[in-house]
Each structure stands twice: as C-alpha cells, then as structure tokens.
Amino acid sequence: MTPEAGIQADETTLRGSVLVLLQFNVSDGIRLDRVKELIRARTVAQPSPKHPAPEYIRYKTPPVVAPLDALVLDSGERLQGEIKYYDYGVVSVVFELAFDGGWNKLIGLASRWVWEIDFAARAQAIVRASLERAAPALIKPYEEWLSEDYLIFHAREISGSPSVQQLIQQHGTRIAQVVRGEMGQLAESECNEVLQSRISYYANDLAVIGWNAAFLYDSASGAETAIQLLEHANSQLLEFRHYDELLTGELARVYTLLDEGTGMLARWRLARSATRLHTVLLDVAELTEHVDTAIKFLSDMFSARLYKLAALKVGVPDYKELVTRKVHTAEELYRFMVDQFNQSRAFFMELTVVIILVVELFYMFKGATF
C-alpha cells in the first residue's frame, strides 16, 4: 500500500452496521408452531438470491423470529436484537449496532469486540428470559448450553463507491485487520491469507470470511443472504460440537465398562450398554441428517459457494469429520459388545442344556438302581 493510499483510507467514511451472531444449543428440538403460539414470533422469510431465479435457497423448516431486549455494553453502546428459533434445538441471536466512521474507528471497534467482550456470557441472561416464555416448546431442554459467536462488519456505503478491485487494492490490509480483529498492521502473507477467503458476485459487492468474523460490502438487501448463511454455518458448527461431546462422553463410558472386566456378568451388562449406544447412534444420525438438510440450494450456485466457503472457514467440515470418525468407532464398539453378549448368551444356553442333561441322567441312573 502506498502512503497516498493510506491517507485516502484514513479519510474514507464507511456507513453500515456491526452484527453479533450468537448461537446457543438449548434442546434436542423446538416445536416452532408452539413457539409462535407462546410468543409474538413470525416465520423467517426465505433468503433471496443475488440474481433473479425461479428457485434459489430454501429452508426445509424456516426458523421463527421474535424481538429481543437490547444489549447494553459497559461502553454505553446499545445493541438492538432479535432471536431465531430453529427446529433442531438451536436459538440464534443477532445484535446490531449502527456504524458511521473511518477505517481506524472500525479497526478499533473490531479489535475490542473480538478480543475483549464475551458476548455469549453477556447475552445468556437475556436469552434465558426469552426462553422462559417459550419453554413448553422445547424438546428435552439442556441445563448447560454450548455456544458460538461470530461478528459481521457490514459496510453498506463506502465513500467514493469503490469497485471490489479498488477496495481490495486500496484498503485490503485494513479489511484484513478488521476480519482478524487486530490493531497492528498485518504481514503481507497474513493479509493474503485473509483476502483469499473472499467472494463476489457483482463488481461492487464483497464478502471476506474469517473463522470468527467477516467483512461485507453490499447493500442491505444484498447482504441479507450472506448474513443468513453465516448464521446457518455457525449453527451447524454448534450442532456438530454437541454431537462430538455427546459421542465423546458415551465412548468414554463404554471404554470404562469394558475395562471393568470380561467375565460372564460383565458381558451380560454389555447388552444394556449396547442398546444405549445404539440409541445414541440413531439420534446422532437423525440429527445430523436434519442439520445437513435444513437448508437447500436449488439453482443459486453462488449462494452454495458462499455457504461452502463460510462453513469451511468456521470449521464445520472439521467437526463433521470428527463426529463421523467417532460414529464409526461407536459402530465397531456396538458390534463388539453385541458379539460378546451373544457369545455369553450362547455359552449360558449350552451350559443350561448340559445341566438339564446331567439332572436327567442323574434321575435316570437313580431310578435304575431301584
């Protein structure tokens, strides 16, 4: 970047908003029709494509959304919020703060919000208060919640209305700082790493996606789909984290049981544990399929590519692979436990037959002596 570009960046004004996405895994499922009866909630509109298309992105079961109490930070910043209920047991909270200022102001805000503020902890009280009213709609609610948070820096207007090429050339290093939440200027290699994860459809829209934050340059309507897809990717990550913890705990329990011994009684106890493990596997398979098919891309390939990039950056494929490997391990353990139980049952049946024969022979010979 040339000195002239740096001066221009300082004088540039950005207008838009900063969004905090928070996801909480609260239950096995949520009855959305019941939520709409309990609170003032409406069904979320289907996402719109970047270009006209007869069919584009469809929720299998659209979430329902309701207003939420504002979140006030220690700095006095007041964030307006809404809460979305997904049928697979996740609630998603979006807090928004309007932004108007230069790059330095945005970089400072990004650094502070990324590293200094635990939004999930601050929002839990607000979310729990909202869920109290919707409690009858929750299926097997959890006491402890897993959570994910993500920041989106959305610039609707940038002075001079630069094209994507101009924006990257003049302000690429600053975009990288915003996405990474860093005040200091990043190395060229790190900037390139951040900017490689960018995608555009038109010459004047841009999405740069990182693992915990994203920068969007688009109109309000144009950015709506990207925001919803980022929200969905983080909810998927949260669900796979939940499955990973569930399987980790169940596998640890099974390993402990196997370590206790392989005697006759221990083998008989394997039957109940095998049934429980199989139930967990069925639940994981059902929930995974539900999450995977929660949103479909029919003819909007750009949105499909955007979602694939978002899921990759936040880590959905990594956690999905972890869950898949643990499912395979659990399946092998299940087969082993069933085999051990069947062997014990066969041995018991053979032993029973032998005992019966011995008893019959005893009485037969005893009768022969008289």
Residue 99 has pLDDT above 50, yes or no: yes
Residue 321 has pLDDT above 90, yes or no: no
pLDDT at 57: 58
Residue 295's SS3 state is: strand
Region of 161 (left: φ > 0; alpha: ψ -120 to 50; beta: rest) is: left
- DSSP state at residue 2: -
Torsion sign over Cα 307, 308, 314, 319: positive
pLDDT at 47: 59
CB of 361 closer than 8 Å to CB of 291: no
Cα 366 to Cα 113: distance, rounded to the nearest angstrom: 90
Vertex 268 angle, CA 267 and 270, to 5° = 65
% of residues, the chain, pLDDT over 90: 44
**Domain limits of the chain?**
3-223, 233-362
Q: Record the tokens describing residue 90, joined without a space.
A: 């996740």
Question: pTM of the entire structure?
Answer: 0.81
Query: Which one has a higher pLDDT value, 346 or 31?
Result: 31
- DSSP state at residue 135: G
pLDDT at 290: 66
Residue ranges of alpha helices (H) inside 29-118 are: 32-38, 103-115
Residue 161 has pLDDT above 50, yes or no: yes
Q: What is the pLDDT of residues 252-306, one digit of tens each?
A: 877 777 766 555 555 555 666 667 777 777 777 776 676 666 666 655 688 888 9
Residue 325 has pLDDT above 60, yes or no: yes
Q: What is the pLDDT of residues 137-154, one digit of tens each?
A: 999 999 889 999 999 999
